Each structure stands twice: as structure tokens, then as C-alpha cells.
Amino acid sequence: MNKPLRRVAIFCGLLVLALLVRVNWVQYVKADELTKDPNNRRVLIDRYAHKRGDIIVDGKAITGSVEAKNGDLKYKRTYKDGAMWAPVTGFASQVYGATQLESIEDDILTGTDDRLFFDRTLSMFTGDKKQGGNVLTTLNGDAQRAAYNGLKGKKGAVAALDPRTGKILALASAPSYDPSTIAGMGDGKAWEKIDKKLNPDDPSLNRALRQTYPPGSTFKAVTAAAALEHGLYDNIDAKTKSPLPWRLPLSTKNLVNDGNHPCENATLRVALQWSCNTVFGKIGADLGNEKMLETAEKFGFNEEQFVPVRATASVFSKDMDKAGTALSSIGQFNTAATPLQMAMVTAAIANDGKLMKPYMVDRLTDPNLDVLEKTSPEEMSQPLSPENAQKVQEMMETVVKEGTGTRAQIQGATVGGKTGTAQHGVDNSEKPYAWFISYAKTDNGSPVAVAVVVEDDNANREDISGGGLAAPIAKDVMQAVLDREK
């Protein structure tokens, strides 16, 4: 072979080698990136070429799929009682993507998860259509409906847990939206109704997981736990060293109570019964920031939770002076909590001090409901001893029997609770938030702990209270769980 031909051959060989390298680079190295590229229309077409798997509650699907009437994407998502379940499911949209369970469990629901490889391969030989797997939740349909109905016409959220396992039983947020209305092409007008930029009520916000509020007096349950755990007090019926009036440390102002209640040197039981700011503020100042922070973090504060949907971290601040710690210890100042967080606080107290990790996916299955993955209950922390937890239970049960939470009483069950009316806005200029946390127990233990927050802009300021607005909702949710337990 002469020299020019040899050069041409080498050049052609290099071109072939470059082509092989490029093909392998695209097919293997860049495969995942190209698959996720929003401009890859083929992936999107394949994604909606078959029916999506379902999200299931109480053995029944709350989702579905129907053939789209327009466009090149064959199927679109449908939802049963979509507005009620939106805080759980999120949405799966041909235009706007997916959120919450629809996003987190997308590989299972679309059938692309590696664990469904055998099902995909089998369908190639049998000619069956590709199918997605299913997500079986821990939710209690009756409890969810009670929460959703209780919030109608209001703005707020409900979170309910099984204290024994950490299973999420209800997760409601209001106002809400129907994910079906934004599932297909040409749903732009429906999207505008839930877009935060165009609708300040932000219906797509999951207030149970993603919105933090000042917890107000419901946080006094945490402060009571801290006082017992750190040995500041050990007898809930002995008088505390709580003068009235009590001046905030480093301040010229007194901390005031809401109403003329017997708060001077009140016992812990009486102080929680009548929500004495002076008693619990002084406890926070006496313990100091470090000890209060330790207890709050054992309950889950300052840490994001994944249930598996991400929940915003609740806040109890570090490095506060005594005045800041006192105000934070009554649920004001820098303290902020999600409804899920306050349900976790209540669940730990009801479960004799043991906090179970919250979760809402019980099982992942293939299309034939064979289990691919099952969630097992997991202990998260021990914020307080069983003995001290039972003392806080006694205090919370007094609140419901003869304190500010009497509207949560349930015949045939023992209910413990704590009301809260949380100030917000500059100089308390905005209408307060109404809170209620509670648990119910029978001879078989405590199957439910609930946190409710209501931001009712339409209510008269003097009518806003945790016992008045939030406690009846919590009662209905607890009753629904107890009825299922019978």
C-alpha cells in the first residue's frame, strides 16, 4: 500500500473509532442525562404511552388514568376526591411535571424502576401493555375526610399520626386544588388558579408539611417536657416558683397572661390547664437556651423530615438570650413549627416518650400487587422518659377535662390536648393562628395524635382560639380513627 492510501486508511480508521466512542458516550455515559432532559420528546411520549400505576388508600385507588383527548401523549392522570388528597398525592401533569408522591415514587408508578424489569421484559413476550407499579399509603380515608371537611371554608392544615408506629393517618391542607384539572395539555387556565404568583392563597402549598407557623401555647407541652427531663421540677402538682407579675429578663416589660387565671406560682398541671405564659416563660429562662434546644431537637425541631415527601424543618433557635428563650418557650419569638412537627410532639408524649419516625408509604408493589418494598416502623428518638411522658399526659388530659380544650372530649376515650392562639405580624398586627394538638387513647393504647392549625382571616379576632376553631376538627379526626379501631 502506498503512502497516500495508508494515510487515508488511518484517517478513516480514526473517524470510525471516534464514531464508536461518541455512540458509546451517548448511549451509556450520557444516557441518564438525556433521559431526564425536558426537551427529549420521545421520553415524554413513552412516559405517557401507558397507564400510570396507582396511589392506594384503604385498599382503593385514589388515582387513575384516561386517554387524553388531544396531543401526542396518550394517557393523562385522574384523581378521585382530588382536592382532598392533593396534599398526599401531589400532581402528575403532562405540562408541569410531578410533585410529592407522584414525583418521589415516579419510577414505580411509571414502571421504569429496576425492580420492575422482569414485568417489563415479560410484557414484551406476552404482548401485554406496560404497566406501572402501585404505592400503598398508610392514610386512613375516614380521618382524611374528617380533616378535609373540618377545614372547608378555612385556611390551615391537619396532620395526624399513629403514635405507636409513626404512620401518617391524615394530611390535609386548605385551600386545596384538584390535580386532575392540571393533568393534561391545555390546562393553563386551571394552572393560573393555583399558581402562587397569581393566587396569593397558594392552594398548591402543602401547609401540613411545608408551612411553618408560630406554635403558640401548644409548644408549652415541649417546655413542660424539658422542665421534667432536666430536673427543674418533678412534681406536676407542686407549686412552681413563678411570681406574678414576672418581668422578662433583660427587659423593662412584664410577660403577661391571657386572662385572669390562677397563674401565680401555679403548679405545672394548672399552668398548662390555663396556659400560663408567666410559668412556662420563666421555665424557659431558668433552663436556658441550651437545655430547651436539646429537648426541642429530640422532638424533631431544626431538622427536615422525609415521609418520604420532604417536610420543612421546624425551628427552635440557638444562641438566644434569656428573654428570647422565655418567649420562644411559649411558642412565640423565633419558634416556628409545621403541623407535622406538632403532631410528632404529641405522638411522642402519647407513646410514653418514644418518638417514631413518621411515614406515609406502607408498601410499593408491582402491577400484580406483589410487594417490592415495605416500610417498617422505626424509632426516631426518646425525647422524654416514660415516667415524665405520663406526667405530661396527665397535664394534657386535665386541659381537655376542665381547661381550655373541653371541646375535644370524646365519650369512651381519654383525650389529652393543648390549645394555642399564636400571635403573628409586627406587634401582633395580624389575626392570630388557632392551634390544637391532641391524642386519644383507649384500653388498647393511643392510636392517634393530631395537630390542627387554622389561619382564619374571616373570623372576628375575639373569636379566634385553639379551643374554639381547631379543637372540634381534631376531635372529628380522632373519632374517625377510634371508630376504625373498634
Residue 247 — left, alpha, or beta (φ > 0 → left; ψ -120 to 50 → alpha)? beta
pLDDT, tens digit (0-9, with 9 covering 90-100), for 93-104: 998 999 999 999
> Is 98 within a domain?
no
> Is 477 within a domain?
yes
> Is 115 within a domain?
no
| The three grid cell numbers given for residue 236, joined into one nine-digit string | 406536676
Confidence of residue 462 (pLDDT cuts 50, 70, 90): very low
Instruction: Tell me the residue range of the domain where 252 lies.
Output: 209-362+376-485
Please state, in angstroms and rounded to a whole number, the distance separating the CA atoms of residues 55 and 75. Answer: 16
pLDDT, tens digit (0-9, with 9 covering 90-100), for 269-292: 999 999 999 999 999 999 999 999
pLDDT at 32: 65
> Is 413 within a domain?
yes
pLDDT, tens digit (0-9, with 9 covering 90-100), for 162-175: 999 999 999 999 99
Please state, in angstroms and rounded to a whole number, the distance separating the CA atoms of residues 389 and 381. Answer: 13
Which amino acid is present at 412?
A: G
Can 217 be counted among the known catalytic residues?
A: yes
What is the SS3 assignment for 303?
A: coil
pLDDT at 315: 98
Is residue 39 predicted with pLDDT exceeding 90? no
Is residue 135 predicted with pLDDT exceeding 80? yes
pLDDT at 46: 73
Note whether 65 and 75 are within 8 A (CB). yes
Q: What is the CATH number of the domain that holds 411?
A: 3.40.710.10
Say how many C-beta atoms besides its own lie within 10 A of residue 173's C-beta. 29
Answer with the residue of higher pLDDT: 423 or 376. 376
Candidate from 93-97, 127-131, 297-301, 336-340 with smallest mean pLDDT = 127-131
pLDDT at 461: 36
Domain count, the chain: 1
| The three grid cell numbers given for residue 112, joined into one nine-digit string | 421504569
Residue 186 — left, alpha, or beta (φ > 0 → left; ψ -120 to 50 → alpha)? left
> Is 14 within a domain?
no
pLDDT at 127: 52
| The three grid cell numbers given for residue 37, joined into one nine-digit string | 432532559
DSSP state of 194: H
> Is 185 within a domain?
no
pLDDT, tens digit (0-9, with 9 covering 90-100), for 348-393: 999 999 999 999 999 999 998 889 999 999 999 999 999 999 999 9
Exposure of 275 by Cβ count < 10 A (0-12 exposed, 13-18 middle, 19+ buried)? buried
Note whether 448 and 460 are within 8 A (CB). no
Is residue 49 predicted with pLDDT exceeding 90? no
Give 147-150's long-range contacts (Cβ < 8 A, gap of 24+).
147/171, 147/172, 147/452, 147/473, 147/476, 147/477, 148/83, 148/84, 148/172, 148/174, 148/176, 149/476, 150/452, 150/472, 150/473, 150/476, 150/477
pLDDT at 413: 96
pLDDT, tens digit (0-9, with 9 covering 90-100), for 244-257: 999 999 889 999 99
Answer with the residue of higher pLDDT: 219 or 464. 219
Note whether 130 and 50 are within 8 A (CB). yes
Residue 59 — left, alpha, or beta (φ > 0 → left; ψ -120 to 50 → alpha)? left
pLDDT at 34: 64
- Separation in Å, CA 267 to CA 221, 235, 392, 428, 471: 14, 8, 12, 29, 24
**Of the listed 93, 180, 204, 217, which one is catalytic?**
217
Say how many C-beta atoms besides its own lie within 10 A of residue 485's C-beta. 15
Q: What is the mean pLDDT of residues 443-447?
A: 91
Q: What is the pTM of this model?
A: 0.89
> Is 419 within a domain?
yes
What is the SS3 assignment for 98?
A: strand
Q: What is the mean pLDDT of residues 48-57?
A: 91
Question: Which residue's entry shows cell 471516534?
Answer: 18
> Is 455 within a domain?
yes
Average pLDDT, rounded, for the chain? 90
Note whether 309 and 100 are within 8 A (CB). yes
Question: Which residue's entry shows cell 374554639?
Answer: 468
Is residue 299 predicted with pLDDT exceeding 80? yes
Confidence of residue 70 (pLDDT cuts 50, 70, 90): confident
Is residue 346 predicted with pLDDT exceeding 50? yes
